Amino acid sequence: MQFNIEKFSREIMVRKDFVDDCLQQYLAEEDTFPPVIHKAIRYAVFNGGKRLRPIMVMEGAILAGGSREQVVPMACALEMIHCYSLVHDDLPAMDNDDFRRGKPTCHRVYGEANAILTGDALLTAAFLTMTRNQEMPGVDPVHLLRAINEVARAAGSQGMIGGQVLDLEAEDRTIDYEELKVLHRLKTGELFRASLRAGAILCGMNEEGLAALEAYAYHFGLAFQITDDILDVKGEEALLGKPVGSDARNQKTTYPSLFGLERSRQLAEESVQNCLTSLQPFGTQATFLCNLALFTLHRNS
């Protein structure tokens, strides 16, 4: 398989634009009462993000024999959850970040109280939007409830939020490789897993297919995190929209700090290889997800 980064970047951009249009539709207008929170919600969501999670929801649907249109509300909901988690992670009591992708963080613009409420509102809106997937043709309510259940589990105290708790506990102390893997699996891997599976569940994928997607998501999460750590060492601030070297300054345990850059790159490549292997049952249908894994090795932001 030939991987063409420019061509694939354009493919991602088309999907990102489609997701942004969908989010426009499923988020309340800025002047909805009370306006300050609805402005802040849109500020937090339209932030230049790559929309990986909604794209995954839609790919899961397609691999299950459905269409991306069928799972639009679920896809938007996964992005809302991701965006709420960024707003809360950036808060002064958490990571205390002033900038994200080159723009002032939500609490810097709207104040801390409104930022807390904006995160709460996005998380709530995510579940509201999920229930609206009922309006889509060919979606079984029992499948939808199962998908909501899986997403809630992945985003909760034994999933993404649990990962954030571990991340806070890991500040200013060295953790070992096993702890680091658990932290990343919870903090980023669980939501990738839920995204792929939710779209596939809504379109009736069987358990074998769901297990293959789960394996892909696990290795994708690893590759994504390792390259994230590498970018913090070697990336360009202008492209990342945030200062590089912050992990080292904060004495965070990362792949480069545990293994060095060279070995970290190898580990990322191995994870991507595992992604490709996981997708074999789907054949050429899974080309996009294969390329998405390869893309993590080449990303610069």
CB 77 within 8 A of CB 127: yes
Q: How far is the CB of 140 from a second copy (least distance, A)?
A: 8
Stretch that binds a second copy, among 64-72, 118-126, 217-225, 262-270 (CB under 8 A): 118-126
Size of the site for a second copy (CB under 8 A): 51
Within 10 angstroms of residue 127's Cβ, the number of other Cβ atoms is 15
In the region spanning residues 20 to 79, those forming contacts with a second copy, defined by CB under 8 A, are: 28, 32-34, 36-38, 41
Stretch that binds a second copy, among 119-127, 194-202, 262-270, 292-300 (CB under 8 A): 119-127
Q: How far is the CB of 106 from a second copy (least distance, A)?
A: 12
In the region spanning residues 125 to 164, those forming contacts with a second copy, defined by CB under 8 A, are: 125, 127-128, 131-132, 134, 141-142, 144-146, 148-149, 152-153, 155-158, 161-162, 164
E runs forming strands in 97-154? 99-100, 103-104
Picking from 192, 183, 166, 172, the residue whose alpha carbon sits closest to that of residue 81 is 192
Picking from 64, 186, 84, 193, the residue whose alpha carbon sits closest to that of residue 128 is 84
CB 212 within 8 A of CB 185: no
* 106/37 Cα distance (integer angstroms): 11
34: preceding bond cis by omega (within 30 degrees): yes
Toward a second copy, which CB reaches closer, 179 or 214?
179
- Residue 112, amino acid: E
Within 10 angstroms of residue 44's Cβ, the number of other Cβ atoms is 25
End-to-end CA distance of the chain: 24
- Alpha helix segments (H runs only) across the chain: 5-26, 35-45, 52-63, 72-90, 106-110, 112-131, 141-155, 160-169, 177-184, 190-202, 207-234, 237-240, 246-249, 255-278, 287-298
Q: Does 275 bind a second copy (CB under 8 A)?
A: no
Toward a second copy, which CB reaches closer, 34 or 283?
34
Stretch that binds a second copy, among 17-25, 54-62, 84-92, 262-270 (CB under 8 A): 84-92
CB 255 within 8 A of CB 234: no
**Mask 163-182, x = binds a second copy (CB under 8 A)?**
-xxx-xx-------------
Toward a second copy, which CB reaches closer, 32 or 277?
32
Would you give the DSSP letter of residue 242? S
Toward a second copy, which CB reaches closer, 138 or 245?
138
Stretch that binds a second copy, among 11-19, 55-63, 114-122, 213-221 (CB under 8 A): 114-122
Q: How far is the CB of 50 from a second copy (least distance, A)?
A: 23
Binding residues for a second copy, per CB under 8 A?
28, 32-34, 36-38, 41, 84, 88, 91-94, 111-114, 116-117, 119-121, 123-125, 127-128, 131-132, 134, 141-142, 144-146, 148-149, 152-153, 155-158, 161-162, 164-166, 168-169
